[in-house]
Amino acid sequence: MDTRIHPIYLDYNGTTPHDPEVIAAMRPFLETEFGNPSSSHWFGIRPKRAVETARRQVAGLLGCLPEEVFFTSGGTESNNHAIKGMARTLKEKGRHLITSTVEHPAVLEVCRYLEKEGFETTFVDVDATGMVGVDDVAAAIRSDTILISIMHANNEVGTIQPITEIAKLARQQGICIHTDAAQSLGKIAVEVESMNVDMLSVAGHKLYAPKGIGALYVRKGLRPEKFCHGAGQEMGWRAGTENVLEIVGLGKACEMADRHLDYAGRHLKAMRDRLYSGLADGLADMHLNGHLEKRLPNTLSLSFKGLEANRILEEIGLEVAASAGAACHSDTVTLSHVLEAMRVPLEWAKGTVRFSTGRTTTPEEIDRAVDVVIKAVQRLRKQY
């Protein structure tokens, strides 16, 4: 029996544990149902049905048709496929892309890579809360703009972007619109029709499903260039034998997210706000990053003035798991590109820590975390 006291996990934006229901759904495909879903014989029947059930479950969460969903290896591949695929399909129409300065590297690096193929990207700035301005996107549009990719919610500070308004603008101009929804699924409503997006990326391991599985929604009628060529699985979108085990896990996770969305949102927010209130009551010189209201219910990015994030994490690491917004070395500080884009002053930014709550986070864990973090910050401030 493991008698060790495990740290309190407050890094759910980094990754989530496997939900027990997800594990139970996957188990037959790990232990007995090994067939190839492309096989025509008996052993392929149940795996094939399981993949199609999972497709319907993902579509149910997104509010789209099952045939508009295909499975990928994760959010990074989904973003790559969406942006590269549509850019290459539409290159005769134009070669200009628009994104924001606070996107995940799986979007930013793809746009930069496409420069080698003659594409050009405008990186729209954000305000001090990390919000992209709809007017700024409008101002960036050119006659040769073919694709806009703006994330649904930021992974570091939680700011929720005005995707619906940006998508409306894109549609008026006949421009394809993609959003990276890896962080928002299961926390807030994500419905492709109301958002009016053409493509949307899903990452399983942010949703209590396994790592290495994701999905991409592609609106019916769009034809992004194929990402992987081969035998034509996934309706011809992505070749390769399907990862049945993890596809089943993602499907179950999406079904659960749909079923528990309202409760999950309330619980995540209650735990996040309890953490913030406790820390704010016990510490001065602490700043909250991100939009005060339009923010993911579980995300709390805090800057501790004059401290270094890695030192804070070292102090709390055996008791609380969180992530840093800056990497501090002997003579340099590497800030996250998100904090830089938000123009957070260095004396604050270098001491930024992101806490993110989850479905199983308890009030008792939050109260313990508050005590640990306050004492750690106080100890460090005495040393500076």
Summary count for the chain: helices (H), strands (E): 12, 15
pLDDT, residue 4, reads 58
pLDDT, residue 333, reads 62
pLDDT digits (tens, 9 = 90+) for 138-192: 999 999 999 999 999 999 999 999 999 999 999 999 999 999 999 999 999 999 9
| Alpha helices for the chain (secondary structure H) | 20-31, 42-62, 75-89, 105-114, 134-140, 163-172, 192-195, 244-282, 309-316, 337-341, 346-349, 363-383
| 8-15+261-383 is a CATH 3.30.450.20 domain | no
CA contacts within 13 A on the Cβ side of 264? 22
344 φ, ψ to 5°?
A: -75, 125
Q: Which member of 64, 111, 228, 328 is catalytic?
A: 328
> Of all helices (H) and strands (E), which one includes residue 120?
strand 120-124
Q: Reduce the DSSP state of residue 19 to 3 states and report it.
A: coil
Tokens at residue 214, please?
A: 């994701």
Q: Reduce the DSSP state of residue 368 to 3 states and report it.
A: helix
Which residues partner with 288 through β-bridges?
Answer: 302
pLDDT, residue 227, reads 80
Share of the chain above pLDDT 70, in %: 96
Distance in Å from the first CA to the final CA of the chain? 42
Tokens at residue 277, please?
A: 């209130």
State in words which class domain 20-257 has. alpha beta
Given a contact cutoff of 8 angstroms between Cβ atoms, the answer to whether 186 and 264 are in contact is yes
pLDDT, residue 233, reads 80
pLDDT digits (tens, 9 = 90+) for 357-375: 999 999 999 999 999 999 9
Residue 97 and residue 77: Cα distance in Å, rounded? 18
Q: What's this model's pTM, rounded to 2 decimal places? A: 0.94
Average pLDDT per block of 10 residues along the chain, 384 residues long: 74 97 97 91 93 98 97 97 97 97 97 97 98 98 98 97 98 97 97 97 97 97 87 78 95 97 96 98 96 97 96 95 71 81 96 97 98 97 84
Q: Is 254 a residue of the active site?
A: no
| Alpha helices for 236-349 (secondary structure H) | 244-282, 309-316, 337-341, 346-349
pLDDT digits (tens, 9 = 90+) for 221-243: 999 998 888 877 877 778 788 99
Provide the residue ranges of all domains of the chain, joining segments of one domain with +: 8-15+261-383, 20-257
Which residues partner with 300 through β-bridges?
Answer: 355
Residue 242 and residue 150: Cα distance in Å, rounded? 29
Residue 54 and residue 205: Cα distance in Å, rounded? 15
